[in-house]
Structure 1
Amino acid sequence: MRETGGTSFSVDELAHRADVSRRTVFNHFESLDEIVITVCGDILGTVVDSFESHTAPDADATMFDELAHALRATDLVTPIAYLTRVLGKDSDDALTPRHAALIGRAFTEVSGRMSAEMMRRHPDADELDVRLLVGSLMSGALVLHGYWHQATGGGDDDRSRQVWADLVERLLAAARTGYGATGAPPPTPH
């Protein structure tokens, strides 16, 4: 994906580049889409990887506080800007259904990994509560992606980072207080 600048490569090209047979590729992945999803999940996995280093400073912090702190402290702009670019989102048009499904599945994979990490950290927590909390915030981050791209064009610069930070704060406020309970929304960043 890095070499081609996108997802338009064949299994034969991938096998040649990896110096393996086509059969070896399919022994590990069912399709090219599975490969793309795995790569996207690994890229978005920075939120999971940095979770331990971005724990909430308060020992009495709730699971929500821990996740909120991780979402604020983790650089997600770099990976989402990259994924947006390689998935072909370089215009104001919506993602193709295929690309939307790929990024959605990648976010779902990351949500599962984050839920597992949260359960490891809080073994007495109710699994459904953990999955609902993490799933809600990760689904919210997926929704933010579209608004962020519309406002920034998918760039990775100071303005884009501020737009992302503002959107994350809005997501966290809505999740904490209830959707629609925060009053009139702030103006959409342009």
Structure 2
Amino acid sequence: MAGATRPVDRRAALKAKSRKAILDAAADLMARRRSTGFSVDELAAAADVSRRTVFNHFAALEDVVTEVSGHMLAEVVDRMSAQAASADREPDTVLADLVATASGDHLVPVVVDLFEILGGDDPQPGNREALLMQRAFNLFTERMTAAMTRRHPEVDHLAVRLLVAAFCGGLLGFVHLWIEETGAADTPAARRAWDRLVARTTEVLREPGA
């Protein structure tokens, strides 16, 4: 019985390896070109896979870009989770943890990178860029929800999910206002402006159970 599962396991491992190669190649292309202006053929060549393999894993090139962009934001959540697990860090409220994770020092560098890669120099990104930014934030919200649920097991999971969704929706709601105000530049003033907008967002939210 165990021997019969080996071919399936090997196929699954190869499939996972191909998917990772595609995502890694896309991340490298986006970082080097500072844009998403590459074709499926270029991506396949960079990942050393066939064009067909790319479409076996992703329905469209934009799905690859969205996942890579989401991972950029999710790295912030991963760092926050590691900090939260430290014995040196005292537990805080869900909302306070969200604010700490979304601080200008954490998110501004990532948002600046995303804006440059997805939107270029245009301060008014087109529908495609806006949609990609929204989908990236959706992935960020999913990861943030999982991190907050693990961080606060004593809090009702639905309440955590709703609070995270509202908070991340607020971030997405003001990100383009912040871009217009700061020109999407990573400066101390721009980080302070981001923190002010985060503070305004938290004014209309409430801690679960409060």
Ranges in structure 2 where 5+ consecutive residues have no aligned partner: 1-29
1:167 partnered with 2:194: no
Counterpart position of 1:66: 97
Q: Which has the higher helix share?
A: 2
In structure 2, distance between residues paired with 1:144 and 1:53: 27
Q: Which amino acid aligns with 1:2?
A: A
In structure 1, distance between residues paired with 2:120 and 2:159: 34
In structure 1, distance between residues paired with 2:157 and 2:113: 32
Task: Show the 5 A alignment for 1:66-105.
Answer: 66-72=97-103, 75-93=106-124, 95-105=125-135
In structure 2, distance between residues paired with 1:73 and 1:86: 19
Normalised by the length of structure 1, the TM-score is 0.82
1:154 partnered with 2:184: yes
List per-residue Cα deviations over 1:121-177 (Å, max 9, x = no partner).
333432221111111111111112111100011111222112112211221223249
Task: Show the 5 A alignment for 1:92-171.
Answer: 92-93=123-124, 95-171=125-201
Normalised by the length of structure 2, the TM-score is 0.75
Which secondary structure does the structure 1 equivalent of 2:205 belong to? helix
Q: Is the CA contact (8 Å cut-off) linking 1:50 and 1:74 kept in structure 2? A: no
Superposed displacement of residue 102, structure 1 = 1.0
Counterpart position of 1:185: none
Q: Which amino acid aligns with 1:19?
A: D
Ranges in structure 1 where 5+ consecutive residues have no aligned partner: 178-190
Q: Which amino acid aligns with 2:136?
A: A
Task: Show the 5 A alignment for 1:36-47.
Answer: 36-47=65-76
Q: Which amino acid aligns with 2:54?
A: V
Q: Is the CA contact (8 Å cut-off) linking 2:66 and 2:132 kept in structure 1? A: yes
Identity rate, percent: 40
List per-residue Cα deviations over 1:86-121 (Å, max 9, x = no partner).
11242332x211211111111111111111122223
Q: Is the CA contact (8 Å cut-off) linking 2:36 and 2:118 kept in structure 1? A: yes
* Cα pair distance change 1:129/1:149, threshold 3 Å: same
> Which stretch of the first structure deviates more once superposed, 30-39 or 70-79?
70-79
Task: Show the 5 A alignment for 1:6-45.
Answer: 6-45=35-74
